[in-house]
Amino acid sequence: MAEYQTAQRVGVDARARAAIDEGLRTHMNKVYGTMSIGMVITALAAWAIAGLAVTADPSATGIMIRDGEYLSALGALIYTTPLRWVIMLAPLAFVFFGWGAMMRRGSAAAVQVSFFAFAALMGLSMSSIFLVFTDFSIVQTFLVTAIAFAGLSLWGYTTKRDISGWGAFLIMGVIGLIVAMIINIFLASPAMMFAISILGILIFAGLTAFYTQDIKNTYVAHAAHNDQEWLDKAAYDGALSLYISFLNMFQFLLMFLGNQE
């Protein structure tokens, strides 16, 4: 009888583990799928806004960006007026002040809409890269970033090493990067920008692996509660974390690999 009960418990445990594994795969697919849709929204928004910001008519603003192309009235508004600071800092303000409140109080559907709205806002914020870098270098850098991201995220998902201790250190690094970038706006030092770019790539590479493992561990720790609303919001939160890591790696790599117009 004891042997039968032991075998029965083993069978139940095996089924429970299988259910968690299946749920985890579904959860991670949702994270990566949501992140991918966000990337598409950002790319389309950036491309569309950059297109509207350029005109062949020199009388529009008289601000030439390259041979035969000038900033349109919209381009001058979002790139040369104080509004550019609002556009630049709005995504950062959303992440630090808006997202946490939405996660606590909003429904899963509201969190999803907020994520996609943020992705569109990031597209507006990043649209100027199409005026500075060639289309080929942007695509090339994106592909390099995608390959690096896939490898880092896969390692974070599969490694048996506990890298949870990286989180606090890496977030402190992000804060230091932000401060250094603000200072360099006034210093305009190429050497400092080079150092910031190197550190940025390393920090967000580490965060990609860290966030992937954290998303996995968080799901496993809460799967038994079967709170689908919370799990849905957690998937969007994980998607945001990985999305931000990807975009920052892309932007820092673009500084190295990108060819300017």
pTM of the model: 0.90
For the stretch 95-133, pLDDT in tens is 988 999 999 999 999 999 999 999 999 999 999 999 999
13 confidence band (pLDDT: 50, 70, 90): low
* SS3 call for 261: coil
> What single letter denotes the amino acid at residue 68?
G
* SS3 call for 53: coil
In sign, the C-alpha dihedral spanning 71, 76, 77, 79 is: positive
The token duo for 125 is: 């914020």
Which residues is 1 bridged to in the sheet?
none
What is the model's pLDDT at position 125?
Answer: 95
Highest mean pLDDT among 4-8, 47-51, 130-134, 191-195: 47-51
What is the model's pLDDT at position 4?
Answer: 36
pLDDT of 2 > 90? The answer is no
Length of the chain, in residues: 261
Q: What is the mean pLDDT of residues 233-247?
A: 96
Burial class (CB in 10 A: 0-12, 13-18, 19+), 68: exposed
Q: What is the mean pLDDT of residues 168-184?
A: 92
Q: Are 118 and 240 in contact (CB under 8 A)?
A: yes
Range of the domain at 156: 2-257
Domain count, the chain: 1
236 confidence band (pLDDT: 50, 70, 90): very high
Listed in sequence order, the residues at least 6 apart from 87 whose beta carbon sits closer than 8 Å to its beta carbon are 78, 124, 125
